Amino acid sequence: MAAQILDGKQIAAAVREEVKAEVAGLKERGITPGLAVVLVGDDPASQVYVRNKHKACEEVGIYSEVHRLPAETTQEELLDLIKQLNNDRRIHGILVQLPLPEHINEKTVIDTIALEKDVDGFSPANVGNLVIGDRCFYPCTPHGCMVLLDKTGIDIKGKKAVVVGRSNIVGKPMAMMLLARHATVTICHSRTKNLAEECRQADILVAAVGKPEMITGDMIKEGAVVIDVGINRVGEKKLVGDVHFESAAQKASWITPVPGGVGPMTIAMLLKNTVEAARR
């Protein structure tokens, strides 16, 4: 079988159109959704992401402000900015770009963001609400993966899903969201014995490990849906996923490319969460 491509770029564009219409509706009621993005330091990849987020906001009519702070910013100063943004009525969503410099405690920073403005969905209270099925923000990357899965038209209920990777920002919330949709979920990681065998059981395989092309075609069940969350820079320019695309596409029914798969969906979901925050 040759897989169909799950075109994240195209689907994200459609989501942005939806968001644009929602923003227009909110503006008629006198509400302009606002997002604050905070970037500490000058990591080149982060600069690009932050610029893209800002551009995406402008395109759909969301007010956005970017706070660029020097790498030497103290934790105190960063926390002060977040508290100020927590109290700023124009700002409905706050995103602190990760990773932060070593001298700043990520956990303390995320904990300071007001729950109702946590559009990344990284705070402990939000994660707790996700796990128990209460109202919450769905973390942008796994949320984007779920939207892509739904675009295939497969019925998630009762399917065997394998998530490779157990990070707090992707693997764990992804597993919870699949579980909420009644998949039978296995989480694999670096200590998993016989990873290939686990992966071959998957009707839905989500790769979020950060290892270039480590999931190969021989690890994929015939007809599986393969979602590749990895964004790995190899060499100067080339971007590859955690999945070896050519061999995996021989087996899968649907597969996301890198670039142009999950990445653009992440940004589209951030816009959606910001509108949701403003609506509340």
Ligand X SMILES: Nc1nc(=O)c2c([nH]1)NC[C@@H]1CN(c3ccc(C(=O)N[C@@H](CCC(=O)O)C(=O)O)cc3)C=[N+]21
Residues that bind ligand X (CB under 6 A): 48-49, 95-98, 120, 140, 231, 239, 258-260, 263-264, 266-267
Choosing from 9, 10, 27, 53, the catalytic residue is 53
Q: How far is the CB of 278 from ligand X (least distance, A)?
A: 18
> Nearer to ligand X by C-beta: 17 or 155?
17
161 exposure class (CB count in 10 Å sphere: 0-12, 13-18, 19+): buried
> Nearer to ligand X by C-beta: 97 or 126?
97
> Nearer to ligand X by C-beta: 120 or 276?
120
165 is in an annotated binding site: yes
Choosing from 7, 55, 83, 97, the catalytic residue is 97
166 is in an annotated binding site: yes
Nearest to 19 by CA among 55, 72, 62, 70: 62
> Nearer to ligand X by C-beta: 112 or 266?
266
d(CA 146, CA 141): 9
Q: How far is the CB of 69 from ligand X (least distance, A)?
A: 14
Q: How far is the CB of 27 from ligand X (least distance, A)?
A: 25
Q: Is 97 a catalytic residue?
A: yes
Q: How far is the CB of 79 from ligand X (least distance, A)?
A: 16
37 exposure class (CB count in 10 Å sphere: 0-12, 13-18, 19+): buried
Residue 22 DSSP class? H
> Nearer to ligand X by C-beta: 73 or 97?
97
Residue 243 DSSP class? B
Choosing from 117, 118, 120, 203, the catalytic residue is 120
In DSSP notation, 116-128 reads: GG-TT--SHHHHH
Q: Is 83 a catalytic residue?
A: no
Distances (CA, A) of 261 to 50, 110, 241: 18, 27, 10
In DSSP notation, 155-210 reads: --TT-EEEEE---TTTHHHHHHHHHHTT-EEEEE-TT-TTHHHHHTT-SEEEE-S-
* C-beta nearest to ligand X: residue: 263
Q: Is 88 a catalytic residue?
A: no
Nearest to 263 by CA among 208, 204, 187, 213: 208
Q: How far is the CB of 110 from ligand X (least distance, A)?
A: 9
167 is in an annotated binding site: yes
Residue 115 DSSP class? G
Annotated binding-site positions: 165-167, 231
Annotated binding-site positions for NADP(+): 165-167, 231
**Residues annotated catalytic, as ranges:** 53, 97, 120
